[in-house]
Chains A and B, each alone.
Chain A
Amino acid sequence: MNILYANVVSEIQKLCLKKRTLFLLIISALIPIGTALILSVFQNNVGIIPITKNQFPIFVLSIFTSYFLPLVIAMVTIDLFSGEFGDRNIKIVLLRPISRFKIYTSKILSIGIFIIVNLAIAFIFSCLALILIKGNYQFINGFLKGLVAYGVSIVPMIAIAIAITFIGQFFKSTGSGLTISILIYIAISIISRLSPQFSRITFTSYTDWYQLWIGSSILIGKVISSFIIILSYSMIFFGIGFYLFDKKEL
């Protein structure tokens, strides 16, 4: 069995063994249902629908990609790096016949899988929650566009995970690493809001790049330029992050 694959399985198993992971996944399922409940109350009592049935899964996605998932990703990522260095149980893996490059990569891959599972749960439950909302749900405009939007969101979310992996190298406890990650994320979001120039070259502004995919036509040029920005940040953070990880001494 390939050692990289083996450690991906291992890292995922470790995630699954933690109660917190299950808790986070349950919240992922509850967010669409809660949102749908609020909307249906709104729909029945006020008579307006700020979000149509077709839009609903994508509205849920916007909550996920801009707030909830970055937070969850930060929690899991910081835990897999800072947390394990803090608890020193990173040593269990470091002493096995697996190179640090593969450890680093497999941790990111397993976070990637966690992200995919999280988005899948969010999509499935937002589809289920549609029962609560009145209106029409179309296959292409609703289901298919939703599926595409959730699918392409994996890319910026993994980029966030890689960036947080980089931040995680500077901390030896989950608490401080997480706090700093959140503060950095908030700071970048605020600066992006205030300065469009800054926003354009910051990959966190592309967390909602699924918007580019679900319009009446896909804006290929914008998709490519956004992808290049996301990719270049990922490559830089991956490179520096791995270098720091490889240099670590216990």
Chain B
Amino acid sequence: MEKVLEVKGLTKLYKNNRGINDINFEIYKGDIFGFLGPNGAGKTTTMKIISGLCRADQGEVRIFGFDIVEQFEKAMQNVGCIIETVEAYEYTSAYKNLELVSRFYKDIKKARIDEVLELVGLKDYKNEKVANFSLGMKQRLGLAAAILSKPELVILDEPTNGLDIEGMVDIRNIITQLASEQKITFFISSHLVHEMEITCSRVGIIYNGKLVKMGYVKELLKSYDTLENCFMDQVRKEKSGT
């Protein structure tokens, strides 16, 4: 199987002693890989290092075989992300925001911007200033920006944050649709275990900065009733272990 993302021995310790410790995993083409863990487990830190926002103390990240530090431009060429929070230029419209993003890629036509706006359900608000957007609308805009360039890997940190039930379902449907139709690989983090169970094909459970369990959702569900039970079991093991 083709490796899309390769994470080796990733370690980063913050001054408050929190951080991540020796994270190793790989994501293959076609995966919807879920990064499951409580708040503060190190999901965002890992994703920030993977996307080049932060530097690791140790370890390396390769995206499509390119090192994220040494060959940043090549590594990020086919990646779209939302990390931590969705950011947008609030002083201008949704459409202009996407137009600004489109400059960084080859051949993104104006029609493509309209296309993604329709896909995330923001078509009617495309000329509205982002400053007036609700959190859910911003989240949709972030997703639109992440998939605009038709990337092969999409990294989404808590993509359903701040969304209502309808919004969560919408986002989930978009993810599964893109994965099945356009063979886009997803790397999603969340603390919502049910959401992960429905959306993802593979999961990694991260706890206290360590990757404690990894596997295909189907396989894991053979040993546990639900992903939640699997998760709680891992947490219990970790707690007794330390």
Contact = CB atoms under 8 A, between A and B. Distances in A.
B53 A14 contact: no
Given A95-B53, A95-B81, A250-B54, A17 B92 contact: yes
A94 B53 contact: yes
A250 B55 CA distance: 10
A1 B88 contact: no
B103 A10 contact: yes
B74 interface: yes
Nearest to B96: A17
A195 interface: no
Contacts of B87: 87-89, 91-92
Contacts of A249: 48, 53-55
23 contacts: A1-B103, A1-B106, A3-B104, A13-B96, A17-B91, A87-B90, A88-B87, A89-B88, A89-B90, A94-B53, A95-B52, A95-B76, A95-B79, A96-B101, A97-B73, A97-B75, A97-B77, A97-B104, A97-B105, A99-B72, A249-B53, A249-B54, A249-B55
Contact of B89 (A3, A9, A92, A96): A92
A87 B86 CA distance: 11
A6 B101 CA distance: 10
* Max count, chain A CB within 10 A of own CB: residue among B51, B81, B90, B100: B100
Given A14-B100, A91-B53, A98 B73 contact: yes
Interface of A: 1, 3, 6-7, 9-10, 13-14, 17-19, 87-89, 91-100, 247, 249-250
A18 B73 contact: no
A99 B106 contact: no
Q: How large is the interface on B (under 10, 10 to 19, 20 to 34, 35 or more residues)?
A: 20 to 34
Nearest to B146: A95
Contacts of A88: 85, 87
Contacts of B89: 14, 17, 89, 92
Contacts of A6: 103-104
A11 to B, nearest CB: 9
A92 B100 contact: yes
Contacts of B75: 97
A95 B91 contact: no
Contacts of A93: 104
B83 interface: yes
Given A7-B104, A13-B99, A91-B83, 14 more contacts: A10-B100, A13-B96, A87-B87, A89-B87, A89-B89, A92-B89, A92-B100, A93-B104, A95-B52, A95-B83, A97-B104, A99-B73, A249-B54, A250-B48
A92 B88 contact: yes
B145 interface: yes
A205 B83 CA distance: 44
A98 B91 contact: no
A230 to B, nearest CB: 31
A87 B79 CA distance: 23
A18 B83 CA distance: 25
The residue among B81, B101, B103 with the most chain A CB atoms within 10 A of its own CB is B103
